[in-house]
Structure formats: C-alpha cells, structure tokens
Structure 1
C-alpha cells in the first residue's frame, strides 16, 4: 500500500517501471569460479592453469538462481582472449542436463595456443538467452615446450667455442633459438647478465657486451616449472683482424686451368668457410685458409669470399674475388634432338658457335666421322650424332665444347593420337572439331619419339566414322556440326610403307531440340485430386522418362496423370543424348500458400490511402463491397472504408480473403471512465489503432500492482459488469504492448 501511495506522487514512467520490476523476475546467472579437481585428489580451487600434454583437466564451478530455465536450454562455458576480450569467445564446455541443477561444475582443457595472464570466463544460457558476469582474470598457459632452449648466432645451430662471440666494430649481432619447434607460438624472456630485457620473440639483436640467455615466458606461475632456460652466449667487443684473400695467379681461366685463393692470415685455431656467390662451397673447417678454383668444374665462375670465426676473434667476411671463364663460348644445335629417318631418306643436322676461329668435327655413336668438319651434316643412317667445336683464337685457344646429341631412329611403326581440339562436352556441345594431336615413331624396342612437327605434313589422311570412310575428309582435322554426325571416329594415315591408325574418339553432340511439358493444373485442392502432364511432341516412338523430384515415375505413359505434388520433368532420348524438358511444379494448395502484407482489419487516416499486396498465387482479383473488381494484379490501393474481397488462384484452386478498412479514430486514450451502469462512458474504449488487433496486448494492474487483465485483441469490454469496485474513485495502471515493445502506458481513474 505504501508503494501505491508513493506511486501516486511520482511521474507515470517511474511508476510503471516500479510495477514492472516487481512483476518480472527472471533467472540470475552468477559468475563462474575455479573448482578443485577431484580426479587428482585436489581440495582447493586452482589459481593458475599450467597445462601440458601430461596434464590438461580443469573445472569451473557455476551457480544460478530460479525460476527454472526451459527444458531445451543449454549452459555454455566460454573463454575470452588473453586480454579478457569476449569479441570472439572460445567455447570450452556445453551441458544440457543441468537445467534443474543450480550448482554444478564445468570441465575443460586448454588449447595449445593459450598463452596469457588475462583470461576470463563467463557462462551463457540459450533458453532464455542470458549471460553471466565475467569471472576474475587468470594466468593460463599451455606448456608446449618444456626442455632447455639452445641459442646461437642467427639461430644457425653453431654454438661458438666457449660460448663467446666477438662483436666487431660495434655491429649488430642476432641471437635466436634453434631447437624450439613452432617458436612463434610462445613469448620469451631475454636476459643480459641477469637483467630482464623487453624483447618477447625468439630472437634478439644486441650491440652491448654481456651474458645473454632466454627462457619461454609461461607467466609468473608456470615459467619456472617448464625448465626452458637456455645456454648462455657471451658477447664481447672485438676488433677486426683485417682478413683478406688474394689469387695466386690470373682470375680469368681457360679449360683445365686452376687458381688458388689464399687468406692473408693462417691461424689453425680459426674456422674458415669459403663461399661462391654467397653460397658455402666448404664446410666450416679449422685452418682451411686456402681454396683452389678448378675450371674443369661446371659453373666454376663467380664471386668468391671467405668467412672466419674463432675464440677471441671477430666473425668477418673478406672482400670478393671474381673468377671468370676465358673460354666461355656457346654451341647451339640447329635441329631437334630426336629425328626419325624413313628408309632411303636423308636429314640435315646443323650447329653454330660463338667460339673465336671455330673448327668443327662431327661424331656418330662416339666416333669421329672422317671429313665431316663443316657446320652441317647429311645423315641417312640411325645413330647418335654430335659436333665438337674447338676455339682456335682468343685467350684460350684449344678449348673444346660438344653440342647436344641428336638421336636418329628408324621406326618400326607409327601411331596417331586424335582428340577434340575445341571445347567439347558430351551431349551438351552442338559442334566439335577432332584433330590429329600427336604422331609417335615407335622403335623396335617400343621407344616412342614425338615426330609430329617433322612428319605431320608428309602423311596422307582419311577419317572413318563407325569404321566407314567419311567421304572427302582427308585432312588431319574434321569438323562436326550436328547430332546427325554422332559416332565413333578414327584417323588412318599413309606414308611410304607405313599405315598407322589412331585411337578412337566418340562424338555425341546435342541435337539442339527442345521438349516442353504442360499440366492441366498446377495445384491439388478440394475438387481437384489429380492433374495430367503432357508433352508438345508425340511420344509414341520415343524412349522417354518422366521424373518427379529427380526420381523416375514412368517410362511408358505418353501423358502422365498424378495426384502427388513435386517437380516434374520429361527426358527424351535423341541421337544418344537426353533432351530435358522444362520443369512443372505441382503443389498442394492451401490457404497458407497465399500471404498478404496486411491484417484483416486495416486502419489508416481518412484522406490517405494504403496499398496491400499478396503473394504465393498465380492470379489475383480484388473486389469492393459492391462486388466490383478493382484490381487484377497482386496489389490494390484502398482509400475508402468498407469490406474488400481477395480471390487468389493457383490453377483452378482458389481461396478468398476478406479485409475491413476503417479510418483511424482521432480520440485519445481515455484516462477516466464512469462505471455506473448508465451506458455512457461505462467501458474503457481504445482507439482502433490499439483495439481489436491480435498482435497488440493490453495489460491492466490494480493499485497494488496486481495484474487484473492481460488480453491480446482487446475488444473494448473492460470493465465487465461483474467487476466490483470497492471505492468511489480507484486508480488503475495500463500498458499497451506489441511484441514486447511498449506502445503506450498510463493511468485509468474509475469513478463509481
């Protein structure tokens, strides 16, 4: 009663909020808390999670308050990111059997990428959709690597003698791990002489002297137990040793020549590594202060450098010495490397070279051919041929180089390969081109040599379809333009005594014909129990298939009578290919098929108009209350009060819908009524914007906040004649809702 008196003195919105909060009481989800792991005999909740492959099981306790959630509800435990952000939460556990249990534990495991100190938990319910508060922040790490780390310069794996690296000329030195798999998955703690540094990746670039080591940062609770502390590398300031290399002779080499590259300092305690064009050509070797470049080695040309390393010495790389090839001339073959010789046929081989004052000698099967010293060679016998080129001028007179080999074979037979040379899809393409794509010469041992380029113009050709010669088709291609030419094609050839045949290719072109089906009706309803589907061609002598939803229903009915709904199609076989018809959809007609975007009672302001539209039917007719048709489209514009009729049809099936149009009431919601039975202002009458609407709910509360009316589709009929009023003047509170949204609210004073 005290609340009611207070309500009378407060603003209306405050009052309504007070009564709403009194009435609407829902479930309360509490923030989740860590729970002991009874499976390992723990009695205290965990405070930080240090998971690994050996142990990864944790529990969170969750409590909530009634009323009960829905029977289909699920409770879901979610985890934030490492900074406590829930923009993309990770689901850890989901339960559906705890909807009557107000205190239970979730179980979960850490994913291998969990690394951080700010993770939080929350619990979400699905029905109703509620969210608990977030938990406290926790340190949680998956310890994926728990062995001592090894570090080295640039992560090369080469730990210097004594663990000391000389830093020459105050340069930068990079230290990195080299034995941690997937190092990018972790954060790291780097130390210099025991002082923690800011770097967090698996590598660090340093310039200061000191003792450097690293460990994986598994947070304040997990790092020590992981035992990942690395070896120590000491960086010392050093000075350049002045290492350099020199060549013992000229650096431009002819065939068979060598040159020694020698370091100016030979120290047996240093490690020497020789490089060519930046790639190591020797392994790091103690005292290896010289290197011999031999022109007989392929690709010996390049820039050579030397790198030194050692205890108390700076790691240095020398200047580069360029070694070049004085006799670097080219030899080019002017013909194919594989040649087919027919009986009595000759072929010409040729060679060219950039050598100075070049001379030539041809070889067959490894032996020189007497007198064959020109740049060309006529051959008529099978064998392996090449030319040896000698340079007779320049700095390296006498250098020789051989051309590539040319293999000449006498075929035992030839074989053709044919294929479609244009885009072709069986039973879809309406034209195609078949062509000879390859000619192989087949040796007696079965070796095949592609001779298409050499011999395709020398053969004569004849196409065959289904084993029968195709008149006039004597080139190595054939064009097919209609389904009448469908069949199995082969190609015959002729050259001297050879008559090769090709493989077989089947051409199946689409006929390009169409088949159209129609139906006596498109819907089944009262009075129409079956429909008949027909084709626009005579099916008497055709092979055909009727399908419904892709499944065969008949292969014999020229017209198909059916009483089942579905998508129907006809497939007719023509020239070996299916010709598919259009699709006809037969539906079961009922009122739910047709929808209208307006209620049955339509209210708008006088002087205006409203357009309403229907969908789901094939045809529409709109009539006014004088039975005059006012539209035959799917929509109509209404501007007058009255009753209107819609007749919607699918095929021969029809439904009707009636709509009442009235102008919007202009009076306000009354806040006083006189329930004295005199027939005047006895009832609380709402404007038609709010009354007699199924989607609008009216709720009335008495002075004590008790709900006395909760009515969708309010009929302007409160209070009932049986309603008793205990006082002369009584105040009631109302809310008008649509889909949970408040449209209006206020008070009603009843004067008796």
Structure 2
C-alpha cells in the first residue's frame, strides 16, 4: 500500500508540474487602445481616425500583455471589417521585437478603402498562438476626396447655378472618380433628405440642393466636400401651353394641316419640334404640316421660352399618313417562263378595300383583277393597287416590276450519285443533278425542281444509245459497262445534251497467288509463286516490292526475299492480287524451351520442346535419330543435335546436357602426390564454364589464380607450398554476381 501511495503522489506531482509548465507558456493579450502620436506636438490619444486629409495616415495604439512569449513570436495588429467582424481581418502591423516588453506602443496606417463606424482592432501572437481581446468600435475613414464636389444636371462639371424645368430632373456628382463608391448626404433648402445616399438625386420639387460625402459623424466636418448649391425650379412657368386639336390627324396626298398653340404671349419665343428634333425656321406660334412633304407623318410639339420663366414644351400631336399603305411584290424580280409551265406572280397590300389591275409591257391585261397572275409569256409585269376605302380614296400605287424571260437554251448537268474513283469503284449510279435555264445574255436560273420530270431522256454510252435507259438516272454494276456516258434531254423543241461522265468500274473478280514457301533459305533454294488464274492471253506483271520483275512468266521463281504480288490488266483497270511476303531465313525463328545448357540432377529427366518449324529431327552424339516430333526427353549427359525444317530450309541447333554434381566445393586438399585429392576439384556447375570466373587468393590477399573456364587443375605442382596447412581464399562468380566463396586448406 505504501508503494501505491508513493506512485499516486508522484503522479500528482508530475501533473502539477506539466500544468505549471503549460501555464508558463500561456500569454494573455489585452485589447489595443488608442495612443498619443509622438510625432505630433500636443497630441492626445485619438477618438476616431480621419485619415487622408493632406495625405496624413499615421496612428498609434498601446498594446499590453501578460505571460511568456517564445523567441520567434510575432505580435500582429489586426483590423476588422466595417461591421466589426474578424472573418477576414486586415493586418495593420507586425511586431517582432517586443517579446519581453509587456507594455508598448506601435504605429499603423489604415487601408485606403477604410470607411465606416464599426471598425475594431485586436492583437494576436504566433508563438504561442493566442488571439487577444477585441477593442471598442471606432469611426475610421480614409478620406481620399477632401475638396468641394460639383453637382449638375448635364454631368459636365460646370456648376449650373439654377435650373428651370417643367419636368423632374436628375442632379449628379460629376467631378470625382468612381462616385458610386461613396455615401452622400443630400440637402434641399437646408433639410437632410433621409435615405438619399447615392451620387445622383431625382428631383421633382423646387428647392436649393447641395450634397457632401458622408465620412461619418466625426470625420465629415474635416472632409471639406461641400458641393455647390443648385437652385431648381420645377414647373415654374405654369402656363399650360398646348397645341389646339387639329381638324385632321390623318392626311391624304395633297392635304395640309396647320397646328397652332392655344395661348400666346408677346414676350415668348417659339420653337416647333418634329419627333423631338427642332424644325429649322419653325419659330412662330403655328406650323403647317404638308402631306406633299416626304416623311411628314410624325409627332409634333411646340416649346416656349422667355426670360424669368421656365422653358416649357407642349404634349405632342401625332400626324399620320392616311395614304401610307404598302404594296409588296411576293415573287422574285426575275422569273423564267418555261415550256409547258405556268409562272404565278403575286402582290400583297395594306390598302383599305384594295382593287387590282395587272399590266404587261405597260399594257393592261383586261380581266386580271386578282392579287395573283398566271403568266406563260415573256415581258415586264406589275400590278396597280387602288385604295377604295378609308380617309383617302381612289389613291393608287404600283408594285415593283417583275421581268419574265424565256430561256434561250438549257444546261443539263449530270453527275455521279455517290463518290466515284476510277478503277476502285465497282458499281455506280449516274443521274441528272441540275437543269439550268440559260437566258440570251448567258445568265442561268436553276429550274431543276420545275422541269426535271418534264424532259424526256436517253442515256448514251460511247455515243450510242443504251437500250431501255430513258430515265433521269442509270445504274451501272459491271466493268463490261465501262465507257463515256452522256444524257440527252428534250422538251418542247429544246434538245440538250449533258456533260460527259467517264466510267471505269473495277471488276469484282479476285486474283489469288500462292507460294511453295514463305522463307528464302539460300541462293540454291527456289521458291515458286503462282496463281490458278489463266494468264495465257492476259496482260499482267509480277511485282516485287511494288516494282515489276516479270510480265511473261505465268509462275514466278524467286531468288531473293521480298513482298510479291500479281497485277492483271483488265478492262483498263489494274486488278491486284493478295501479297505474299517471302522472308529471309532467320535461325532465331526456331526456339527451344528451355533454352541453354540442360543440367539434370542425377537420376532425373528433362523434356525440351522446339517451336517455329514445320518438321523436326533430334540426333544423339552418334548421329542416331532419336525423335521426329517437336520435343524430346533427355536422361543422359551429352551433346545432342536438332535439325528443324521451315518449309525447304533447315536450321541446326545443339543442346548440351550435363549431370548435376552432388558434391560441394571442397575446402581441403592434400598435395602429397598420391593422386588422391591432390587438386581442387569443383562441381561441373562451375568448372569448364566460359562465363564463370574462378579466383584464388593467398594468405596475403594476393591473386594467385584468375581464370574463366577453370579445368580443375589447381595446383599443378606441390612445390609451391612452403609449410603445412596453408590457407587460401577463393571466389567463384559470373558477370553479375558471386556464386560461391570460401577457404581452401592445403595439407602437405
């Protein structure tokens, strides 16, 4: 129990010690408070920050804290946003040299975008990491504008002094950049306009208007942004001028109407407006609108002006054109009158109760009183439209003229119905693609849709009619139909012939070649390439690597490797056979699995399989045939031969089989000359191998043997050993690793 009490007391002590150490590292940071600026005489701690006036922006705060700060600690003075939030604080100052001073002043400058009444400050430390208390909220403004504002209606920077208007106006701050980024206080005749804080003010009431930038209740007075005062009079004229109601507002051709102001005054000046544009010279108390003037239809108003009264403009009077109806041609300006075809002309109109008359070459077409006209003759056509209802009756307008012509000839264009390549395509459809009407001046009009089914057709091959082919298309599916095709077409005395379409279809026949072998063994070897196609009367050539090698041999005996094919000329096209690749003999085509020397543990067997040949013969050391299959099983040591055939070629490979030694590398030999254990004999796995290196060192580490293909013949004499039980060191390795190493004790 005593031991348990000691452990308990020790645990409590350790916990108290850890808590003490932790508290020793903690610090408490108080809220920063405004401090005196030592660079200004007679200054005192600031109650608010009004920076920027004259470029001034230097302030101080006092920072106090308690606890212990580490050597790398930094105190960072931070500023909240205008609402007092530290979600994204601004860094005002970073202090690195006050880690042992718990009461110090530091200077800072506020950001140029600071404007508001709710800014707070705090201090945080970095080592240890602590966040101090937040300060009270302060008015803080960076006053980048500290000169008088200008307000105007035009926004041109010129103080207007007074404005007289019958309608509401807008005043705007016009002499600072980005005026929308500030808040303002607008006044009318000394009264604050509550809620008006933007850079513009909509005014509908007379008064004396001014504005200044709102830098808060403390800083605004030192901003010096008071604007000019604008005396605004709204509706001061009060004369209620208007235009007397006219007799007519819809005028017909030849009509006129005089517009007059309802009241006049000798002191007034007048100006008449048409669609808000002043009419040059129209400065009397009345104005006459003449329907003979183009574009007379418009909105008219009169404006008065005089010293001491506001300029005033009347409501508009709209004058319209009673004859303002339209006549539209609904067909092309030029049409082609085709044989056996009728063209329809058409007009539309907005006239009231219209009537129609049609004219050809300025001569009326009697009885044609519809908005449409069917024609079969050449000529120049138009319709006369008369308005017989509404305010203006018996007024007429002509439609635009349509010129109808008969073709001098037709152009017939035939084409391939699908992509075509000579001697590649095996079937094709030819068809009428376009029919153009050709006028006397050479201009063409596409009339395919109108006439493609009206013509009669005949297809011709090499100048001769193709029997039964009288449609607008022809299908060709055999190389026996190759030739030059044209299409003749007839309609109402027109006889036309199309362009020529050459056709050279490839036969659907195939040529196949075979060879007696695909491997070329040697100059004495003959490989024959042939075909079952009858070449007796054909024009052909054998090609090696796409170059002709023979045009007379019906079968080809080749004497070198390459890619061979047969090209047969048939109906003007080259008919190409399959390709046969004759490769040179490559001994690597025959592979063994497993490859390399075969080592058999004594009393076991191993099967070796050959691949890549067409026939095999396995021979033993006595040249006796062991097998003709692709594999053989070995049970005895020796050198064996494989004769593998690839078509007519033979490849010989040898297989060496050895018996795995069961003894280990000896570490003792006796060189007493009795013929027993006189030499260092190592297993066959390491001896007599050209790729195995045997190295022997003496007791001093000097090489005394360094051989590849070691023949189990060390030492060759016993005279080199000067004393009993000499120790040597050996290392057996190949090109990449040490296979065996150890010591050899030589006993005399």
Q: Name the TM tier (shorter chain).
A: 0.3 to 0.5
**Highest Rg: 1 or 2?**
2
TM (norm. structure 1) is: 0.48
Flag the structure with more relative contact order, 1 or 2, with Cα contacts below 8 A and sequence separation at least 6. 1
